[in-house]
Structure 1
Amino acid sequence: MQRIHHVAYRCKDAKETVDWYGRVLGFAYTNAFAEDHVPSTGAYDPYMHVFLDCGGGNVIAFFELPEQPEMGSDPNTPAWVQHLAFEVSTLEELEAAKAHIEGLGIDVLGPTYHGIFRSIYFFDPNGHRLELACNIGTPEQYAELERVARPMLEEWSETKKAPQHAQWLHVDPGSLVE
């Protein structure tokens, strides 16, 4: 594998989605496909498939499916679980993005501390949860997380309880009081 070619999600309105991602996140609208029949299956199902450049060779795409039932959420999966996370370079960029997004009237949660990154969360007009994240970890922290990854997975597989191997991730040094 070389990289992810694109990730595709459903949208309610292709034009609204393209315009929103351009205005809110600065993503460039690059191209679209529109068909009455699905090329892979031959099934009749008219669609508009739009592609947005997220930067760094990353592409997100959306399908508008006007003849399908309305979009809905999975009632068995909490809204915070399925999300798209985009990376910004600095904490200043993260704060600026938060201010920009809130300035557009969009509710933003965070920044949230995750040990090796901080992030903000918000929803697009289709109900997809988005995250902007800024890495703040040290090489030693990333190495430690890699070292404990397999033991954590094994413990989780056996107990279905949160392993404590990386508990240090949850202590925000900015919240410590001396």
Structure 2
Amino acid sequence: MIKIEKVHHVAYRCKDAKETVEWYKDKLNMDLVLAIAENEVPSTKAPDPYMHIFLDAGMGNVLAFFELPNSEEMGRDQNTPAWVQHLALKVADVDALVAAKESLQSKGVDVLGPVHHGVFKSIYFFDPSGHRLELAADIGTPEQYKQLNEVAHDMIEEWSQTKRAPKHAAWLHEHD
């Protein structure tokens, strides 16, 4: 039986490894912990030079990027809205979220939010490669998370049949 312990790392492509390291350090205080560079892809043996960087996302979490200088210019899936594909990082609380927004804005980053999602609040912004990032602060109670967990399977089942938002957790959007 497979038992996942945690995410080892999440990897994205970046336009420029050095710019990415500097941006994440300056904007999100994430340190570079490892860099791997090869001229050949280890898994496929394809001749494709790359720089693979790993950033400390806190508590053993690692965010990684590949710079691929011989590949076509980076793009994104034009059939997927920009708000869908994103990386959400957790902050301690709403005060930390507001402070993060102020810090990012003071460094010239355009920030949306905070947006209230019922059991958490979030801010949104983009990195220099165009990846959407979210900082989220949990605000839900244990009872709310329990209630959401209890209806999750029913919601998936209803969605699979109707492709319409089930009302099981509509209370998430009934807030000030």
Q: For residues 55-84 of structure 1, what are the alpha-carbon distances to aligned partners after superposition, in whole Å with 9 as ceiling and x for unaligned? A: 011000000000000000111000000000
Counterpart residue number, 1:6: 9
Structure 1, unaligned runs of 5 or more: none
Q: TM-score, normalised by structure 2?
A: 0.97
The letter for the 2-side match of 1:133 is A
Q: TM-score, normalised by structure 1?
A: 0.96
Give how far 1:156 is off: 0.1
The letter for the 2-side match of 1:15 is K
Higher strand share: 1
What CA distance in whole angstroms lies between the structure 2 residues aligned with 1:165 and 1:132?
Answer: 26
Equivalent residue in structure 2 for 1:105, among 108, 123, 133? 108
Structure 2, unaligned runs of 5 or more: none
User: Is residue 2:46 matched to residue 1:51?
Assistant: no
For 1:12-161, list aligned pairs within 5 A. Answer: 12-161=15-164
SS at match of 1:44: coil
What CA distance in whole angstroms lies between the structure 1 residues aligned with 2:101 and 2:74?
Answer: 27
SS at match of 1:40: coil
Identity of aligned residues (%): 63
User: What root-mean-square deviation, in Å, do the aligned CA atoms of Structure 1 and Structure 2 show?
Assistant: 0.5
SS at match of 2:57: strand
Segments of 4+ in structure 1 off by > 4 A?
Answer: none
SS at match of 2:39: strand
What CA distance in whole angstroms lies between the structure 1 residues aligned with 2:132 and 2:37?
Answer: 26
- How many aligned positions are there? 173
